[in-house]
Amino acid sequence: MLTWPEKVLFALAVLLTAWVAWREFRKVVGFITQGQGTLDWSLARKRLTQAIVEWITLRRVFRMRLGAALLHGFVAWAFAAYLLVNVGDVLEAYIPNFHFLGTGLIGGVYRLVADVLSVAALVGMASLLVRRFILRVPVLFVRENVLLHPKARGSGIQKDSLIVGLFILGHVGARFLGETFQVAREGADPWQPFATLVGRLWQGWPETALVVGEHLGFWFALGLILLFIPYFPRSKHIHLIMAFFNFLFQPERPSYGALDPLDFEDESIEQFGASTLKDFSQTQLLDAYACIMCMRCQEMCPAYGTGKVLSPAALEINKRYLFNDAFIGAKTPEEIFQLPLVESVIPPEALWACTACGACIEVCPVGNEPMRDILDIRRAQVLMENQFPEQWQVAYTGMERTGNPWNIAPEERLKWAEGLDVPTVDENPDFEILWWVGCAPTTEPRAQRAARAFAQILKAAGVNFAVLGTRERCTGDAARRSGNEYLFYELALQNVETLNSVKAKRIVTLCPHCLHTLKNEYPAFGGHYEVVHYTQLIQELVAQGRLKLTPETREAITYHDPCFLGRYNRVFDEPRFILTQLGQVNEMPLSRTKSFCCGAGGAQVWKEEEEGTARVNHTRFRQAQATGARTVAVACPFCMIMLDDARRDLKAEDMQVRDIAELVAEHLPSKSP
């Protein structure tokens, strides 16, 4: 199709673009490799198929905003197809009478896919631009009280979105129009229904005009690509490529909530946690380039949703815009990588507002993990700068001196069980199940009720169990997620030594935080155990016929999914199975993987909540009220504390907050005294 002068000109343009693009992409690689560690290529080999499936299907995009997700899918699928389409167009332009993939069935299917996806991309991109620039849908923007890079706060994100959107409309639209001129010249093509339909508009035009139309379509479509590629590395559009690498290199963990341990034995290590960008891992820096800036993480964040200054999206965007400052020479790469993360990517108030609920990780369509960034920055603030909310000092002192954040003496740890004949491991060394009671159920009055109820359940089912009693210590979850990794490290070593000494094999716990820590984080310290939540054990006992429930009423109950039980450990069905035996479950809209945090996680329960428009626990309780149920069932002592506090604050006397263990104990055939 192209003349020889055009072929030469296009080849020179390609070479020039390739040279500029190589320089720009080398900067991206240089920024990412400034991070700690290296990308694990063994994971890449193992994950290749999975990464391709994630990248092509956009499965994670469809977790929310179905309409917008479909529009985005039209654009992304067209982008993937156009990687091949553009190659075919260039070959057809250079080789006379050449039809890419032939004129048979394969070639026909190829043209059909290209035709349909071209129209889909135009519809999708035009709709998304209307959504952002005309409708100005609020979830696409960051509130004014959130720290955002000045260029992003100004016209940066908007300008970038417009450039990318107009490029896609121009590139795909020009290519599609070029095809319509070709169809008008060569005759209708049943494999290109949309191009054939539009091509009817050009019927009767002179062949010369149609040839010019084809040429203009080629040059405008491919010329836009050559102009856009050098800009591509600094645009948000690069997420279409970097998302694939994110899926490929994301570290393997037993749970996405499990944190990587720090090596306190290595005296050569001078930095713990992340104080500057260079302290992040390479995968954490890769996150900034994979970010879509879709704000889904921000939309699901309980802190942002209640008016706090924390936005996980802003954190990733700030990282990205700092890299772009180095791209354009506003700052040198050395200056960028020496900037303190606190105040450059996240303010202190936002840093301490995170509940570590994992909602941002769960909902991210490209696998970003902003929560990990926050917890790594906390580690540096606590361990390197000795900076943290003053109220946490009480909990730290309690964990250091008495083994629990309530600062209750170890000898009082079994007071909750008085009159229940709960055996310790010393009294029953041949136990089948070790019950890790946890700090809250042993010390906090409301959580103690759940512990006493569970003891009755175990006895009613004839379970051979024992507790550690005075030998039990806090697992250290609150210390770890508040940034005090060394305190967690000491507690973990002590607890693993104790558990190994009593030969614990199977452990049951009331607290999802204990469950997660024992199951997913203690293996790094030599503690390998089968750990189950008490709702899982109750379901097991019911299935075995060892536990029978006799519901007296079919009251409406709503269930609050604890973050550490649901999102972190995928325990969704067992609590619901139990509740359906006792009543009718009215689900909250934000449930299962989308559950809204109670506000206790990330050590928030030990300090006052940051200023916002609402309290997290109040917001969650109102969501429970909206279901019409009169009982909010919980399966976590911290959720019990937070939601019951909200019930009292909101004077909701007509509702009650009950632990599932309490509800089960009330419906046993014969209740323990």
In the chain, where the domains are located:
64-229, 249-260+269-383, 392-543, 555-666
The CA-atom distances, in angstroms, between 651 and each of 49, 266, 557, 656 are 54, 53, 19, 11
Amino acid at 421: D
DSSP 559: E
User: Distance between alpha carbon 366 and the CA centroid of its chain, in Å?
Assistant: 9
* Residue 553 confidence (pLDDT): 65
Given this structure, which CATH class describes domain 392-543?
alpha beta
| pLDDT value, residue 482 | 97
Do residues 311 and 298 make contact, with C-beta atoms less than 8 angstroms apart? yes
- Res 672: pLDDT: 42
**Residue ranges for the chain with pLDDT beneath 50:** 671-673
d(CA 321, CA 372): 19
Residue 381, helix vs strand vs coil: helix
Task: Assign a CATH topology to domain 555-666.
Answer: Rossmann fold (3.40.50)
Q: Tell me, yes or no, if the two domains 249-260+269-383 and 392-543 fold the same way.
A: no
Burial class from Cβ neighbours inside 10 Å (0-12, 13-18, 19+) for residue 358 reads: buried
Nearest to 234 by CA among 330, 305, 159, 327: 327
Query: How confident is the model at residue 670, as a pLDDT?
Result: 61
Name the CATH architecture for the domain at 249-260+269-383. Orthogonal Bundle (1.10)
pLDDT for the residue numbered 424:
96
pLDDT value of residue 451? 97
Q: Are 192 and 171 in contact (CB under 8 A)?
A: no
> Considering the entire predicted model, what is its pTM?
0.93
CB 25 within 8 A of CB 289: no
Of 18, 83, 27, 44, the closest CA to residue 229 belongs to 18
Contact 424, 468 (CB under 8 A): yes
